Chains A and B, each alone.
Chain A
């Protein structure tokens, strides 16, 4: 995050979109990998985890942005952690109230949102310096980016590993599910494959740019 916008950024479309692509917390910055790998064995879990993380991210960023002038520098990390832990506890009880089955499926990973580096990273790098409305938009973007990444893994793993999507079977009786994909190794493989795809796209783009500039140089 070298190009950190500081001092205060003006609200633009980019404030939101950055979280989706160029600074996508999972695919571009490789943050918060634990829940990404652990709970993405079905689409439903991925959606629930994404929404829970987004909620914590947005709420804690807002509160931190609101309090940014009152929190002394020396105790800021401690304050951030307490604020984040508060919202995680709230989400924890909220999910238990909504559905205990979902709660059982996500297990300890809801409480582990506390140590998700995306949230602390955002608090430190963005919310503690920016105004309320830009923080809101930016954290929504980051949350959406995180959710999309979870979905990208969750759907692929559910389709390959159980032959279904959101519990609805996609293939006929003859489909033999690729069980390893919903087991732990599958998480590593699918995330690795996504990164390979993104690397390939990036390299191809770079090569195109190089070729074009080469052509331009020759012509000149």
Chain B
């Protein structure tokens, strides 16, 4: 009923206007507020299941795209204490564990974000614990320049970098052994380096930064809780 209260403040006649009987005004505004509230709630109730379903399909598609071979997923969240199954009051960033048709763990998809040329770019990265590397990437939201910055999501040569990008941990298992960095085009020598792309230097750098930060944040927990994740197979 908060709308009604606000409306009444607005309905006060401004200085200079004639003071009219306020009852019809209140009646009209209350009537319209009730009508509009009713309509909005109806539509909200009717569309909510469809929207939730759409969102689920969209995330699922993205997860299966960055984790080759995955056909089903289980949601986890990264909490202070490590990874926990989603939906049991656990709060944190969402992580999606992908499983193949044989219920074997195929990898873990986690989100990353970094400031690009125009605005923040959001990614989803796929990590395969078997090879300790990033095996896929997808841009979820970006406003990068079409034809230049958006090459980071379309250029096949650049995306080759994310087919087996090394993200192995140091012996203590607390951080990446080698930071993921972007190097100039043609100078890639190590598996943790990303071969740069001309025309999308800043967007490419942003992607490397996002991959590095996300891996630093998620991979140590993933490795620690790997048995728990694998046991969650549907």
Binding site for B on A (CB under 8 A): 67, 70-75, 78-79, 82-83, 85-86, 89-90, 93-94, 96-97, 99-101, 104, 161-162, 177, 179, 182-183
Contact = CB atoms under 8 A, between A and B. Distances in A.
Interface string B4-45: 000100110100010010001100110111011001100110
A74 B47 CA distance: 35
B85 to A, nearest CB: 25
B25 A75 contact: yes
Secondary structure call for the B interface: helix
Given A85-B36, A90-B39, A90-B43, A97 B51 contact: yes
Contact of A97 (B31, B33, B50, B146): B50
Contact of B7 (A78, A86, A162, A183): A78
B11 A182 contact: no
Nearest to B17: A74
A71 B25 CA distance: 7
A206 B51 CA distance: 53
B227 interface: no
A75 B7 CA distance: 9
Contact of A86 (B20, B36, B147): B36
A93 B44 CA distance: 7
| Residue among A67, A75, A79, A101 with most chain B CB within 10 A | A75
A100 B54 contact: yes
B33 A82 contact: yes
Contacts, number: 76
**Which bracket fits the contact residues of B?**
20 to 34
Given A83-B36, A86-B39, A89-B43, A72 B25 contact: yes
Interface of B: 3, 7, 10-11, 13, 17, 20, 24-25, 28-29, 31-33, 35-36, 39-40, 43-44, 47, 50-51, 54-55, 58, 141, 145-148
B149 to A, nearest CB: 11
A74 B20 contact: yes
Nearest to A104: B141
B51 A93 contact: yes
Contacts of B20: 72-74
A7 to B, nearest CB: 23
9 contacts: A74-B11, A79-B28, A93-B44, A93-B47, A96-B47, A96-B51, A99-B54, A100-B55, A177-B147
B40 A89 contact: yes
B28 A71 contact: yes
Nearest to A100: B54
Given A72-B20, A93-B47, A179-B147, A82 B36 contact: yes
A177 B20 CA distance: 61
B47 A94 contact: yes
Contacts of B40: 86, 89-90
Contacts of B39: 86, 90
A79 B145 contact: no
Nearest to B118: A183
Contacts of A90: 39-40, 43
Given A93-B47, A93-B51, A94-B43, A72 B145 contact: no
B146 to A, nearest CB: 6
**What 6 pairs between A and B have smallest CB-CB spacing?**
A86-B36, A97-B50, A97-B47, A93-B47, A179-B147, A90-B43
Contact of A79 (B13, B17, B32, B58): B32
